[in-house]
Homo-oligomer: A and B are copies of this chain.
Amino acid sequence: MSVDQALIDSSIRNWNIHIERGTKAFDRMTEEQLQLEVSPGRNRVIYILGHLIAIHDALLPLLRISDRLYPELDRPFVSNPDRAVESGLTGNDLKLKWNEVNRALEIGFAGISPKDWTTRHNAVSVEDFEKEPHRHRFSVFLSRSAHLAMHLGQIRLVP
């Protein structure tokens, strides 16, 4: 296997490990447990779940895989803090969307070659990318991998 393919495979494996950890953590929790805050006065688990779905969903166009599946999640889970906007969704609704969006990403990742991972992501213009060639798809992917790990670390604090 080429070095670049080994590096990409490893990065996607690392992502998948954390997705699976998240899935296990969310699946273990009842609707009541999803209402718990990760620390007093901080986000509830259900908000973090919705937030991760929305951010992962936004990766689809950002990595030029596809259009978003759930743009309506931005208002309750990204542009507003926890409890500010009612999403109307249960924990179970969100668990299904979590699986759907991560499945769409998994398929999308598999279709990107190592070289394509180093092409620009969709939030940087062709002109800006010439000046800042590190703003590629792999860079965004790493950033979202860390974002995922960060929030999973918070969820682990729930009793």
Contact = CB atoms under 8 A, between A and B. Distances in A.
A133 to B, nearest CB: 8
A145 interface: yes
A142 B152 CA distance: 16
Contacts of A6: 118, 133-134, 136, 138
A11 interface: yes
Interface size class of A (residues with CB under 8 A): 35 or more
This chain's copy number in the assembly: 2
Interface stretch (A37-45, A55-63, A66-74, A84-92): A37-45
A38 B138 contact: no
A78 interface: no
Nearest to A141: B10
